[in-house]
Amino acid sequence: MSPSLLFDVHVDGFGPTGERQVESRYEGQYEDEFRLSGHTASFVHRIQSDFDPRYSRFENGVRRADDAARGTLLTTYVACYPKEEILMPAHDDIGEEHAPDDWLLEGALDALDDVFYLFDPTGRLVRWNERLNELFDLTDEELSEMTPEKFFLPEDGRAVEAAFEEALVDGETKVEARAETTEGRVLFELTGRSVNAPDGRVAGVAGVGRDITTQRHNERKLGRQNDRLETFASVVSHDLRNPLSVAMGYLELERGTNDSEYLGRAAAALERVDDIIDDVLAAAREGEVVERTAPVELRRVAEAAWASVETVDATLSVETDASVDADEARLRRIFENLFRNASHHVASDVAVRVGELADGFYVEDDGQGVPESDRKRVFDPGVTSTARGTGIGLNIVRSLAEAQGWAVSLTSGTDGGARFEFTSADNRRGRREGR
């Protein structure tokens, strides 16, 4: 038979400051009459063994099993004396309208994939969700004895302790620490914010622990890939360009004294290699994710890009005064690649138009367009419709777009040509006249 609840008390006018005097008697078995959110058994154990011989105060939500619609917020005062402990509960009936909230909160916390925790100012764990039990294979009573650093590897414990103190003093903290769990060694990102009582006192620190093991592994893997890519780009830029420049120099010398059709073809081939190197370097270096963007005027950037591209008899029409959130250098590269693609692969007198979409912008030409069956392929590296193309330009366009959080698609233009549409839910557009 379970022992009587520790709340088997009779309060007859004693309170910590005298302002709350309640006569009540809570008695019976734990399983019979009460469900205490916040883990009753461990809470009782701590009162019996762990409190310093001085006044302490903390709150627990209580429900009666025979009246589930009602609830009590129990504020428990403990005064320890040499030969006795006196428990004084002061309670407020929160009524039926509030009773479901505690069940809702408890269910919501247990539904989290992350670990939830609430420590009191002394570092004792006072509330948690089931995920903590699962990961560390500990009972509620065992968890109630835990302090923040005990969950983690010894070499990370000191940083966790420091982070806890930081949350108490500064109001918030974040730290990474490793722990041995039922799922193996896990790297956690731990957050914490101080929780204040109505009178302004810091009542504890609450937060979540998120498993970032896979995330950090992927970041390290991506870092190694980027390092290899940078090495590759360096090799392409230096080790290939130097001998290429030497070859082109000797070729020009030979053409000055003995020009021929074959030497002309050789020069064209070397120039194509140089173009490929430019595009490969651009693809390697400009597809990195953009961290900061700013409003950029489409007209200004499009016209600047047009001026830097050899367009012969082609014409540009910008039919919008809108702005998009973008990295200006990468947006200009998008325009340059599309303008170059149109003038080189469509026609020397092609008409190019830039316009606004509901959630982005478009670039289109009046050429022959691209068959629907080929529209997805054109963004793949190596795909080109002419002998002059490198097959990398549109792949670069897609990389530059995706780096800014945009999606790019190819469809039919107003006059039947190719139309490239760039869309993003995050693009904040604005017209000059509306600013």
The pTM assigned to this predicted structure is: 0.45
Q: CA 74, CA 44: separation in Å to the nearest integer?
A: 14
Q: At residue 416, does pLDDT exceed 70?
A: yes
Task: Break the chain into its structural domains and give their ranges.
Answer: 1-97, 112-211, 214-285, 290-435
Beta-carbon contacts of 55 under 8 Å, excluding residues fewer than 6 positions away, are 16, 77, 78, 79
Q: Options 3.20.20.150, 3.40.50.11740, 3.40.50.2300, 3.30.450.20; which CATH number does 112-211 get?
A: 3.30.450.20
Q: CA 49, CA 39: separation in Å to the nearest integer?
A: 16
pLDDT in tens, 124-142: 998 999 999 999 999 999 9
Q: Counting beta carbons within 10 angstroms of the beta carbon of residue 170, is it exposed (0 to 12), middle (13 to 18) or buried (19 or more)? A: exposed
214-285 with 290-435: one CATH topology?
A: no
| CATH code for the structural domain at 214-285 | 1.10.287
Q: CA 166, CA 190: separation in Å to the nearest integer?
A: 13
pLDDT in tens, 138-180: 999 999 889 999 999 999 999 999 999 999 999 999 999 999 9
Q: CA 288, CA 405: separation in Å to the nearest integer?
A: 11
For residues 184-198, give the mean pLDDT. Answer: 94
State the fold for domain 290-435: Heat Shock Protein 90 (3.30.565)
- pLDDT attached to residue 371: 82
